[in-house]
């Protein structure tokens, strides 16, 4: 066995392990650990046990569960379908006023951090702990979900030397990536686990959507996905517009600079289909997974046609102005 210790790859003094149990949402963290293993051959000690006769010093890790402060109202069984989405955005700081302070005072980052994870620092979560996942446990039912990207992040600078860039610095960029990946992982689980994905409504499972996302579609033989008319039911959307695949990555990249969408506000969503995907669906041979891209109405419209670029039978035209079926440029 490996006992908890400082670990040879970094000084660490995590708080003592506290046993947690019961219905709740927990943060799984990993920290360095080390311990002694085996007994080295020794002589001249008169059979007395000594702390210096360990054969090996073993490096390892230890795992802990930390309870996140999620309200009892959110933990209610009636809210379980939306709980994963709510907790993810609470971890990302979407619901924390301190996370939006840049909009009213863009000179510095919040000194105390924001979001559910920062609320655990420094008494429960130390710089030595690496958040791995959020999990929801319900007594009598076990684990209800495991969400990686609600807390998993790539490396980023801790702060920004230029105050004016605090709201657009590394942390914002990293969280924007995690926001997109968290949604895509969540929607994939729904696609695979829902009894009938075509009957899934966004408002039944999501309180927030990312500023842009990719929705797998069904309705074709051999595919399993969502019906976009049902999924976006009750929300403000425009009819899907065809775009070239060359615009997909730039659209998703641009979207990271925009905030998530709160569905209760019913703000506009642009809908796009990608020409290459649609063309492959109408061709001969094996069919790919059809998909649709949605984007926040705050993001500029990406459906403008381009002569000598757009394909005639997989394109749209520029109208004199926005309409229900054909938004203008």
What pLDDT band is residue 194 in, cutting at 50, 70 and 90? very high
Which tokens belong to 218?
A: 């069904």
pLDDT at res. 22: 87
- Closest CA relative to residue 76, chosen from 133, 28, 138: 138
**What are the structural domain ranges in the chain?**
1-193, 195-329
DSSP conformation class of 31: E
Task: Tell me the percentage of the chain whose pLDDT exceeds 90.
Answer: 56
The backbone torsions φ and ψ at residue 9, rounded to the nearest 5 degrees and listed phi first, read -100, 20
Which tokens belong to 63?
A: 């795992």
- Please name the helix (run of DSSP H) or strand (run of DSSP E) that holds residue 274, with its range, or none: strand 269-274
| Res 265 pLDDT > 70 | yes
What pLDDT band is residue 322 in, cutting at 50, 70 and 90? very low
Render pLDDT for 1-29 as a digit per residue (tens, 0 to 9): 344 454 455 555 555 555 567 899 999 99
Distance CA 250, CA 302 (A): 10
Which comes out higher in pLDDT, residue 36 or 323? 36
Which comes out higher in pLDDT, residue 223 or 264? 264
- Closest CA relative to residue 95, chosen from 68, 126, 60: 68
b/e per residue 228-238 (b: at least 16 CB within 10 A):
beebbeebebb
What average pLDDT does the structure give for the chain?
84
| Res 245 pLDDT > 80 | yes
Average pLDDT of the residues in 37-59: 69
pLDDT at res. 17: 52
b/e per residue 185-207 (b: at least 16 CB within 10 A):
bbbeebbeeeeebbebebeebbb
- Which of 156-160, 161-165, 170-174 shows the lowest per-residue confidence on average (mean pLDDT)? 161-165
Distance CA 292, CA 274 (A): 7
pLDDT at res. 156: 81
Are the C-beta atoms of residues 113 and 99 closer than 8 Å to each other? no
| Res 112 pLDDT > 50 | yes
pLDDT at res. 44: 60
pLDDT at res. 4: 46
Render pLDDT for 275-316 as a digit per residue (tens, 0 to 9): 999 998 887 778 889 999 999 999 999 988 776 666 666 667
pLDDT at res. 58: 84
pLDDT at res. 172: 86
Quickly tell me which residue has 């510095």 as its tokens: 108
Beta bridge partners, 131, equal: 29
CB within 8 A of 310, min separation 6: which ones? 242, 244, 275
pLDDT at res. 281: 86
pLDDT at res. 246: 93
Which comes out higher in pLDDT, residue 41 or 97? 97
Collapsed DSSP state (helix, strand, coil) of residue 268: coil
Quickly tell me which residue has 């004199």 as its tokens: 320
What pLDDT band is residue 160 in, cutting at 50, 70 and 90? low
Are the C-beta atoms of residues 329 and 301 closer than 8 Å to each other? yes
């Amino acid at each position: 066995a490996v006992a908890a210790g400082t670990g040879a790859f970094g000084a660490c003094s995590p708080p003592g392990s506290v046993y947690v149990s019961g219905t709740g949402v927990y943060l799984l963290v990993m920290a360095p650990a080390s311990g002694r293993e085996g007994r080295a051959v020794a002589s001249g000690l008169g059979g007395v046990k000594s702390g210096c006769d360990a054969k090996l010093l073993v490096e390892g890790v230890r795992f802990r569960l930390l309870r996140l402060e999620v309200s009892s109202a959110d933990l209610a069984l009636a809210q379980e379908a939306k709980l994963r989405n709510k907790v993810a955005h609470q971890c990302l700081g979407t619901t924390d006023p301190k996370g939006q302070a840049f909009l009213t005072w863009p000179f510095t980052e919040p000194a105390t951090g924001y979001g559910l994870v920062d609320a655990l620092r420094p008494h429960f979560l130390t710089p030595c702990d690496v958040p791995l996942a959020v999990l929801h446990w319900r007594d009598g039912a076990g684990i209800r979900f495991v969400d990686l990207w609600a807390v998993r992040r790539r490396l980023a600078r801790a702060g920004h030397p230029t105050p004016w860039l605090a709201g657009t610095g590394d942390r914002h960029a990293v969280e924007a990536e995690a926001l997109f990946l968290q949604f895509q992982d969540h929607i994939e689980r729904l696609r695979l686990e829902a009894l009938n994905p075509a009957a899934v409504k966004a408002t039944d499972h999501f309180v927030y959507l990312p500023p842009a996302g990719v929705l797998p579609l069904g309705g074709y033989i051999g595919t399993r996905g969502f019906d976009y008319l049902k999924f976006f039911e009750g929300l403000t959307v425009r009819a899907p517009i065809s775009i070239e695949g060359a615009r997909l990555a730039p659209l998703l990249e641009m979207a990271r600079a925009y905030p998530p969408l709160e569905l209760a506000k019913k703000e506009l969503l642009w809908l796009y289909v990608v020409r290459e995907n649609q063309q492959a669906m109408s061709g001969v041979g094996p069919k790919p997974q059809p998909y649709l891209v949605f984007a926040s109405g705050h993001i500029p419209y990406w459906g403008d046609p381009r002569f000598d670029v757009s394909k005639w039978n997989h394109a749209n035209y520029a109208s004199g102005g926005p309409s229900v079926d054909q938004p203008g440029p």
